[in-house]
Structure formats: structure tokens, C-alpha cells
Amino acid sequence: MPAQDKTRRLPSQLISQDINSLHGLQTISTYNTSRTDASVEKLQQTYQTMLAQQQSETEKLTLYRSAADAARLAEWEFHNAVLAMKEVIRGQYGSDSDQAQAVGLKKKSERKRPNRKKLVAIPS
């Protein structure tokens, strides 16, 4: 048997098949094995552990998504506050002021004027 790659998740279909196999095993009253990793008790224990870990993962994913949403909204609020501050700087000091340049705006006098494109006549 090839080495198992435990860094990837198992497909949900495979997990469902395993759960169905466990439920099917519970109908067999004569099942007995000397392998401890295949005993009914071990299977029940690992199944309960899997369910608890999946529940924990779901709860943490919910918390993560909530924290990510809060951070995203805070970023937008900060961005909008900075835009408002830049508008105030432009209104208070003017578009060509050193204060406008200090907050990251380009001075109006330093903007490059657009050049007209010369039309090239196409010879016919």
C-alpha cells in the first residue's frame, strides 16, 4: 500500500462511505477482532473524535469569517476617512500646496499637460 498523504483532506464522499460502513458494522453482532485499531470501541471513539473536530473546525471557521468581515469593514472605514481628510486638505490649503503634497496628493502645477496627437494623413 502506498504511503498516505495526510496533508490533504479526504473527499466528503469517502467520509460518507466510511460512516455508512460503520453503521453497517453495528448491525453485525458477531464481529470480533484481535486488531485494536479495527475494534468496535476504537471505531466509535475515532468517529466521535472526528465529529467533535469537525464541529470545532466549523465554529472556528465561523469566527474567522466574522473576524475577516470586521477587518474588511474597518479597512474601508479607514480608507474613506483618509479620502475625506485629503478632500479637506485640498479645500483648506489648495490643490497646489505643500500640505497636499505631504499627504500624498500631486501638486496641480506638477501635473503633466496632455499633448495633442498629430493626425497623420494616410496616403491614398
Determine if the pTM surpasses 0.85: no
Contact criterion met (CB below 8 Å) for 47 and 19: yes
Q: At what angle do helices 12-25 and 40-93 cross, to 10 degrees?
A: 150
pLDDT of residue 64: 98
Three cell numbers at 23? 453503521
pLDDT per position as a tens digit, 90-113:
999 998 899 988 998 888 788 777
Which of helix, strand or coil describes residue 56? Answer: helix
Q: Which bin fits 2, alpha (ψ -120 to 50), beta or left (φ > 0)? A: beta
Eight-state DSSP code of residue 34: S
pLDDT of residue 124: 65
111 versus 79: the higher-pLDDT residue is 79
